[in-house]
Chains A and B, each alone.
Chain A
Amino acid sequence: MIQNYLKTAWRNIVRHKGYSLITIAGFALGLACCLMIMLYILDEMSYDRFYPNAGRTVRIDVDASWADNTASMATTSAPLAALIRREIPEVEAVTRFRYYGAPVLRHGEKCFSEERFFFADPTFFDVFSVPFIQGDPRHALAQPNAVAISLSMARKYFGSAEALGKVLTADNRQDYIVSGVFADLPPQTHFHYDFIAPFGNRRDTQVDSYATNNNFSTYLRLRPDITITRFAAKLDRLVQTFAHPELEKLFGNSWAKLAQGGAYFRWLPRRLTDIHLRSHRDFEIETNSDIRYVYVFSLIAFAIFVLACVNFINLTTARATTRAREVGIRKSIGSSRGELVRQFFSEILLLVFLAVLIAVVLAQLLSPYLDLSAEKGVPTAVLANRSLLPLLGGLLLLSSLLAGAYPAFLLSSFKPAAVLKGDPVMSKKSTLRGLLVVLQFSVSIIMIIGTLVVSRQLRFMQDRDLGFGKEQVLVIRKANDLGKGVRAFKQELLARPDVVSVSSASHLMGDPEFGDELYKNPDAPAAQLMKLQRLFCDENFARVFQLRLAGGRFFDKSRPADRKGIVINEAAARALGMSDPAGKQLISMGGERIPVLGVVKDFHFQSLRQRILPMAINYWGEDAFGPLLAVRIATPDMRQALAGIRRIWERHSRGQSFDFQFFDDRFARVYAAESRLSGQLLAFSILAIVIACLGLLGLSIFIVRQRTKEIGIRKVLGASMTRISWLLSGEFLKHVLLASVIACPIAYFLMKRWLGDFAFRIGLDAGPFALAVLITLGVSLATIGVQVVRAARANPVDSLRYE
């Protein structure tokens, strides 16, 4: 029997090629998207699970608040690790690590700057148990000058030669001996490291404050017999015994009083496997993803899936008229309704199966463009994915059920007596079908509005005057490797006519994080310590970035005392309650008096997502050799300037590579998330509207066919072609207009919420809404146009005879 069904089904597909193509292709497109999104989501959920004891591995975070300041950090103070080891026996292993910047490593001719170089406790590989290919993880960090490196780094520096025991020289200062080679980490981890070296006896690891200097990442592994809640309770007790007394001393008040004023200080355990999606703290090792993306994409996948199913239902039921006769015949030769339901199900299963096959191919082809996993840098290999088969099975089953049930039951319900006599099987007005089309267009319109609003906000952020000049600035990274030589380098740069100014700096605008420092204003009535973002630079910084002064002056190299002073921004002046700060003094956390030399006008040193935070700019002095060197250039021939600067670098750098960026490119990463979102939304909107239009196309073929006779009669009665075209188009456009009425309020609500995240944002006017509706109207008119015009132009004699 099933053979008979599939034979009929296959021959039906082949006979109505165009129709089958629309049905299968539309469905496949939708499925392909779902598939890509689901693989992306699975990938996001799989982070850090490759570690054998991932479920029991925990990071310690710090939450703190006092006065108007809050801090939520992914790092802790240095002695916490040892404290936990001592006080909580249910902890099997603890380790700390810290990033001190990217050293330049050299082995013979090979010389690279390495971003993923961390210093750690010798217990590092006990907590992060990554497989070792050479060496022993237990002793790899025993010697002070040891370094454990990843396999790909071993290959990079030593090729196929044995890596163990080889020497890597860092920054021409320090030699490390390779003590172990571990397997490369998969992309799915929140923490990528290629080099782990022991702390040795670095001073910062021995600071004995529990509450301040939260500079270390602290990770540990719990015994299986303790829950994370119980562990959290134990941490709470530790914080009370060890951290609170320290803070009482710092703020000169009892903890009870401080807590009453809203202050808190907490140590919080965070599961390793939660970090990638749920942790957004200061001092994360890498920028994490967001569980909200997972939700949003799940929603989009679901919406697209529903759209695709709806389409499928629409198109299959629209063909009911042609299938009705077959239903009649089969019933007249003894088919029961159940048999027919089974027949149509197997037929739909065949269609869905074909669609799924095409979807896999489409997904493989499209995934590089959809760019879901941009930060991983590699397109998800759809075909190679382990989860693919179960996913496909699920999709196949679910979509056959969802898309197959209604058509199967509808088709099998036809009364043979009626259909064999040729009665119309469906009323002209199919409310359900109409509703489904409205639903599809609502989703499309919402997506188009989303795309328009997101791209407008993006453009707004990119075009806005940020309060500093970001064009024509070259950034040279790792300039600190020149050491004292940086001064001569700077001078030679300035000698070039196309170089306007050069400045060393610790951070630049657009960096994900700045350090911070606490200050209080002694003149304010209730003097509180306030957190100011901190940036170190030399006296040329304001000139290079064209900062504008609101009062006082910037640093002056001829006044050595300026090294003690700071320049603050207007936001800091407001936060500290100073009306005219220039020339006044602030008190630092250590109790020192810090002169305020000047105030710069507020500039956006972070994304427009955020309000402008209070900032203190510190002076390094003239001989500063910070990691970043910003060079303002004024020339029409940037290429030539760049080549000249490179030559100067090469004279000073003793073979180290010239690592440069244009500042505006570097700054663009601030909006990487938004521009990715905008691109993805664009892709999904196009997809949604393509699917909706395929549905509309199917519907229009159906309606036009049903109304052929009516159109013929109207023409005989003298209706013009234009008139008939409008009559038919009106039918479809009604759907689109209704969809707009539904979609606009929903989109307004969603976009309002999205924009709410931005401290600086565009207003939500009618523009994107009107444009989205117009686009949808235009595209759908174009879709039905061919059908409508063909119907309207048809010779009435033919159509009447045909009936």
Chain B
Amino acid sequence: MIRLRGITKYYANAFVKTFVLRNIDLDVKEGEFLTIMGPSGAGKSTLLYILGMLDEACEGEYFFCGQAVHELNEKKRTQLHQQDIGFVFQSYHLIDELTVYENLETPLLYKKVKPDERKSLVADALDRFHIVAKKDLFPSQLSGGQQQLVAVARAVIIQPKLILADEPTGNLNSQQGEEIMELFKKLNAKGTTIIQVTHSERNASYSDRVIHLLDGWMINGEKSALPGEHRESGKRKKKYPEGT
């Protein structure tokens, strides 16, 4: 479903080129649950944004479900992204001025879903995530865990093929984190592809496969990415101390 070849990203100014991603090759199959790990500043978020088409690589090719994303214009990319991709962030990123209900509704509005269908989709999501009682509250009136729950609900409401999660449990306590990971597990079981960034081995253990980034290099790529491999990645923990 995803195929990256030689993805490179750098920031250039007059004097230096700072490389963030170097020559990344990555394949993700439909229905896979992938974890990206690495120290702070390694380029994990950048990679995720590129996968989510919110950022562009400087070099390399990106195929999404067979479409050459690197060749699409902004409008087409927005469409693709709108149909198939849901985002979850560490700091939730709900729209402060909208209620829970309206936050859930917004992606559907962008997707131009009809009002009736929209209503039932939002009602379903509220139900599924047990937040019906919160639907008229604003994000600031919710706890972190609740906010992240809403954020996940917002990501899945468009029934995306791919969910991208950037440290989704980073600001949550372990119990809340657990809940979110269980949710991901369930979604993945129903066929949604999930790519998450995390610093937590525990979270990583939910996934099928783990890749590591260091200074923009992918240090255990395709070759070592065998099922069950993720259990070994625990050993590397000391080698790459976690950042914030």
Contact = CB atoms under 8 A, between A and B. Distances in A.
B55 interface: yes
Interface residues of B, number: 31
Given A8-B95, A333-B110, 13 more contacts: A7-B98, A7-B102, A328-B93, A330-B106, A334-B107, A334-B158, A335-B78, A335-B110, A336-B75, A416-B49, A417-B45, A420-B54, A420-B89
A82 interface: no
Given A15-B97, A417-B49, A333 B106 contact: yes
B69 to A, nearest CB: 14
Interface in A300-347: 325-326, 328-337, 339
B58 interface: no
A12 interface: yes
A229 interface: no
B93 A420 contact: yes
A203 interface: no
Contacts of B89: 332, 420
B71 interface: no
A326 B94 CA distance: 8
A11 B78 contact: no
B13 to A, nearest CB: 13
Range for the number of chain A residues in contact with chain B: 20 to 34
B52 interface: yes
B97 A11 contact: yes
B169 interface: no
A12 B97 contact: yes
Interface of B: 45-46, 49, 52, 54-55, 74-75, 78-79, 81-82, 86-87, 89, 93-98, 102, 105-107, 109-111, 154-155, 158
B74 A337 contact: yes
Nearest to A11: B97
Contacts of A416: 49, 54-55
Nearest to A331: B54
Interface of A: 1, 4, 7-8, 11-12, 15, 325-326, 328-337, 339, 415-417, 420-421
Main DSSP-derived SS at the A contact region: helix
B95 A332 contact: no
A8 B154 contact: no
Contacts of A328: 93
A335 B77 CA distance: 11
A333 B52 CA distance: 10
A417 B97 contact: no
B106 A332 contact: no
A326 B155 CA distance: 16
Nearest to B110: A334
Return the 3 tightest CB-CB contacts between A and B, nearest first. Answer: A334-B82, A417-B55, A11-B97
B95 A334 contact: no
A329 B52 contact: no
A333 B87 contact: yes
A317 B83 CA distance: 31
B54 A417 contact: yes
A326 B55 CA distance: 17
Contacts of B106: 4, 330, 333
A350 to B, nearest CB: 13
Contacts of B78: 331, 334-337
B94 A329 contact: yes
B227 to A, nearest CB: 31
30 contacts: A1-B109, A4-B98, A4-B102, A4-B109, A7-B98, A8-B95, A8-B97, A8-B98, A11-B98, A15-B96, A326-B95, A326-B97, A328-B93, A329-B95, A330-B110, A331-B78, A333-B107, A334-B81, A335-B78, A335-B110, A336-B74, A336-B110, A337-B74, A339-B110, A416-B49, A417-B45, A417-B46, A417-B49, A417-B54, A420-B49
